[in-house]
Structure 1
């Protein structure tokens, strides 16, 4: 029940759900061939074919219905909770039911696990944990029953786990902790040989994982450059905070940024945490021969959290810790708590009551925290707003929330977020580029140019930024600058029909119609269904008096979008120039039918009616044109020509309006009729 809010959550469209689900074409056509393909590909810097297969199955069931993905995640977490119970129950040879039950209870309720359950893309964490726990259970059965089939099953589940997420490699060392718990001789030939296949698999897939990350992020996986001493301090912070947050879920966040600066205060706190970490590690030595339960619990936690402390920038990322990293390791901590409560309740009756009371109160507290935390992951806005409330200096939260607000049309909110992101990181080209995009949407192209110029200076080699910069320059009338920016963009990314089309428009505006047509040709060649290229090429051909070519292009645009009123109206002009008036009127009529407020279609039809002597029909269309837009000079001119004989004064007024609006033919009529 505490995870019910998860089922009402949507996708996080700017936090991996876009890459793993919404825009992941690999999962949208599940066949035997595509499923096999998952095993021969890296995806998003990872090798996790079973995770992709799992997501593909969900897509097959419900396509992009988020409830399907969240339901699967929740079911996996419930299964994992049951497996934790079974693992601990078997670990104690079915003698400590209370310890197993409470460990599973705390695992299932843990607020730190909300990230893994509520985030659709974190399927890999739940899936690898399922096979991880299944492998541990099989290994325990192998030790207890000495049947080789359980060893093979344990190895098989380990393979499945590692095919879901490479962090499963920590299982190899976890098996040694289990060996210790069962009093096995860790250095015996038998124990060592048993681990060989596990460690061989771990090494192979660790290498695969490194190549997978480099395939996406390059040779240098570091995203933050810190000294090893600083990384030790960060690791100590994360280690202690994982323990504290698992016990009392305070200031949980979907993103934990590195500190802005390694201050003296931070170093002092970190040294204290480092001492605490060493004490926890030292407890293993102290309790090694005194308490197997305590030693195993600590070992299990350390083993499964160590690789996630980011001492060596593994896994890669610009965050210091993540709630999801505690998912498997938490079993060790919860085992210690459960064993402690069991020890307390085994004493006097009053102690048992105290232990049960503490457990009940704590479970209710954690349940409420988990219930509330699940709603934080409802959508991008709630997610980033929560991060900002915890870490006001988290630049990425402002940047991504701004992107979401922009897509939702909340431009002022987006502008505020991008401005804040720039204040937090003045060297972030993305923040400037994003704010430039908002200014463009607001029609403030002058400010957009300033932001894009800054973004380009910070990151000169980004083709999309150069393309956007060119578009903003084009809108401000700097055609030469626009063409230069488009040229740079196309040098970096030659396949971009949108940029070719925009460069064609820039050339069109300078009168270089042939050059414009060449760019439009390239855009159509790269994307045969790129509507703007057909339409704009049709306009260029119309101006070159290539009326048949214009009609062909307008027809091509209409095949892509049958409701393109502008294409119908301009095709009408082309038919008119060919003296095909019936076809011209038919085109105008269709344009008006699509958009009854499209004044240019009324204007063009009115002018053609004037030249075919349908003065009544022309007057109606010209009046409608002026009603829709009072800034159209030709409409006043042709209306004046129609009413000149019946109302000379009104006609002169229209001629004057036409002249003032830049329609030069009106000047001659004014000299003749309006002295």
Structure 2
């Protein structure tokens, strides 16, 4: 027990060191603004708006537990990024520990050595030399340790840890692993009693996992795979015990279908079914390649561009390679339960994110593999234990693990801030217009935060060079012009943006900002028109009343100005500006009457 504790400490210490650069990261404008920095829902007192938390949708679906965790952090720490990243890292460490327990329990079965021994040719099995009935603690601990280590330090998992928003992955995996752990405990003796509290705790954690991220809908199938690996007999009770899991999963699946399934990315609407099959095969091929060789990672993997009606040849080769690999796996490992378990564990964890469903703006995302890769880690580690390790092989293995750790350590730094993050994104997607324009625009935003307005304008110019109808670049450049006092140029950009498709909130802000620029140029009549249009939409828009009143004062339309100030006081009786201006107008009237 002491030795196991020692190895656990070593395991967690390695993962902590490898992922530690994430603690220095800031928020980035890659959904962090939607989930955290500009999300008013999480800025309220924790648990005071549970109804809003549970119904608030981002990109079509709800992640209430994730938002609730952000809300608690915001209450105590505001928008200091360190606690958010610290909690992400701590969750990752807990998940590493849970993976260790998960794999350890899988390998504790008396059937395990028989399972990992090929049985496709029973004639070769010597009747007088049956496989051992038990597995050594050394084998169990080694398997659990190295699977958990690979999970903890693999570069493809950095995105889920170093990106604050991806608390979703960490939380859903945390609760999913707790659900699996309690299920394993409840079925430790092969027969599950429905009255066992571990069974009901497993169901509860499954529900919580779905509330953290809907990706957990395939957990019932993972439980069936665990039954298969443990050689549980298929009987009525085994299927009956899964019914509550599948009911919860079905409800989660229907929710996804209604809220996300029909929200196809505009980028992929024109792709036909066979193109989506090609993209899905490429996606799987990319993930498998990065599993072994996680180099040149990116937060955004661009879609291919057709040249003379054809995609790059790799898109036609990979389906053939995957087909050949599937045939080989079936021929060589069709009776190897570890391989079957690991492959299916991986497949069902990424299934809903394949490009067949076309819900993404990129062809692949690294974070989708966070839990899924453990199926492949399990296959590799189990079968490596059947290899006789020489000194050179040990050195090679340790060197490979060191490389993974170094790559993850450096990868964490990519999420350091907006400038570094989006520069990396643009560099690694040179042919993707969307990726480049988004990267350039967000780099401009980051420069704006540093008050480097001239440099920011140049980035917005480059973004508009990629897409002349990119409204966010117009808005960013307009605000930079505004900060520099170049109001006419700002007005031009705000007008360009208003001619494009803006969200209702962006449209309101754009009209207000244009009106403010007009006001600063003393173009009062035009400014009044903008502020009046806002008041027509929202009669309680206090800033619009105040600015319109200011314009009216400068046009000597005092009665109209006073009327606007009085309207402000009806909405906000303690408004200092309105009170002050009314007093000034009153004094002016008295002087005029004398």
Structure-2 residue corresponding to 1:141: 185
Give 1:203's match in structure 2, choosing from 250, 265, 274. 250
1:85 maps onto 2:100 in alignment = yes
Deviates more, 1:453-462 or 1:51-60: 453-462
Which residue, out of 145, 163, 166, partners 2:211? 163
Q: CA deviation at 1:167?
A: 0.6
Q: RMSD in angstroms over aligned alpha carbons?
A: 3.9
CA 524–473 in structure 1, closer or farther in 2 if over 3 Å, else same: closer
Q: What is the TM-score normalised by the length of structure 1?
A: 0.70
> How far 1:575 sits from its partner (Å)?
4.3
Which residues of structure 1 form unaligned runs of 5+?
477-500, 581-675
- Please report how far the alpha carbon of residue 101 of structure 1 lies from its aligned counterpart in structure 2 after TM superposition: 0.7
- Decide which of 389, 398, 414 is 1:360's aligned counterpart: 398
Superposed displacement of residue 80, structure 1: 0.5
Name the structure 1 match of 2:553.
539
Mapped contact 2:305–2:311 kept (Cα < 8 A): no
1:418 aligns with 2:460: yes
Residue 318 (structure 1) aligned to one of 361, 368, 390: 361
TM-aligned CA distance change 1:39 to 1:434, over 3 Å:
closer
Rg larger in 1 or in 2? Answer: 1
Match of 2:149 among 90, 101, 105: 105
Q: 1:321 to 1:251 in 2, by over 3 A?
A: same
Q: Find the counterpart in structure 1 of residue 382 from structure 2.
A: 339
Asked whether the 8 Å contact 1:534–1:554 carries over to 2, the reply is no
* Structure 1 position 416, deviation (Å): 2.4
After the TM superposition, which residues 469-484 of structure 1 pair with which residues of structure 2 at under 5 Å, given as runs?
none
Quick one: structure 1 residues 470 and 521, their matched pair in 2 at CA, closer, same or farther if it must change by over 3 Å? closer
Which residue is equivalent to 1:2? 18
Cα distance between partner residues in 2 of 1:412 and 1:426: 20
Q: In 2, distance between residues paired with 1:325 and 1:245?
A: 13
CA 1:147–1:36 in structure 2 vs 1: closer, same or farther (change >3 Å)?
farther
Deviations 1:448-473 (A, max 9, x none): 56655655555489784597479769
Shift, 1:415, TM fit: 2.4
Measured in 1, the distance between the counterparts of 2:343 and 2:158 equals 23
- Contact (CA 8 Å) 1:554, 1:571: kept in 2 or not? no
**Closer/same/farther in 2, CA of residues 302 and 518 from structure 1, 3 Å limit:** closer
- The secondary structure found in structure 2 opposite 1:15 is coil
Q: Give the C-alpha shift of residue 25 in structure 1.
A: 2.6
Q: Which residue of 2 aligns with 1:602?
A: none
TM-score (norm: length of structure 2): 0.78
Residues 238-262 of structure 1 show CA distances to partners (whole Å, capped at 9, x for unaligned) of: 1111122232221111222222446
User: What CA distance in whole angstroms lies between the structure 2 residues aligned with 1:39 and 1:466?
Assistant: 27
> Which residue, 316, 331, 337 being the options, matches 1:292?
337
Q: Give the SS at the match of 1:252.
A: coil
Say how many residue pairs are matched: 536
User: Cα 1:548–1:325, aligned 2, differ >3 Å: closer, same or farther?
Assistant: closer
Identify which of 79, 90, 109 aligns with 1:75: 90
Hey, what does 2:30 align to over in structure 1?
15
Unaligned runs of 5+ in 2: 1-16, 110-134
Shift of 1:191: 3.6
1:238-637 equivalences under 5 Å are: 238-261=283-306, 266-313=311-358, 316-344=359-387, 347=388, 351-392=389-430, 393=432, 394=435, 395-444=437-486, 455=497, 458-459=500-501, 464=506, 468=510, 506-507=524-525, 525-528=539-542, 532-533=546-547, 536=550, 539-540=553-554, 543-544=556-557, 549=562, 575=587, 578-579=590-591
Contact 2:53 2:64 in 1 (8 A): yes
2:168 paired with 1:124? yes
Aligned partners of 1:42 and 1:249: how far apart in 2? 33
Answer whether contact 2:304 2:312 (CA < 8 A) is retained.
no
Instruction: Please list the CA deviations of residues 496-519 of structure 1 after superposition, one character each: whole Å capped at 9, or x if unmatched.
Output: xxxxx999964278xxx9x89977
* Match 2:61 to one of 32, 41, 46: 46
- Judge conservation of contact 1:308–1:325 (CA < 8 Å) in 2: yes
Partners of 1:87 and 1:136 within 8 A in 2: yes
> For residues 279 and 170 of structure 1, do their structure 2 counterparts lie closer, same or farther at Cα, with a shift above 3 Å needed?
farther
Offset, 1:18: 1.5
Determine the C-alpha separation between the residues in 2 that align with 1:262 and 1:42: 38
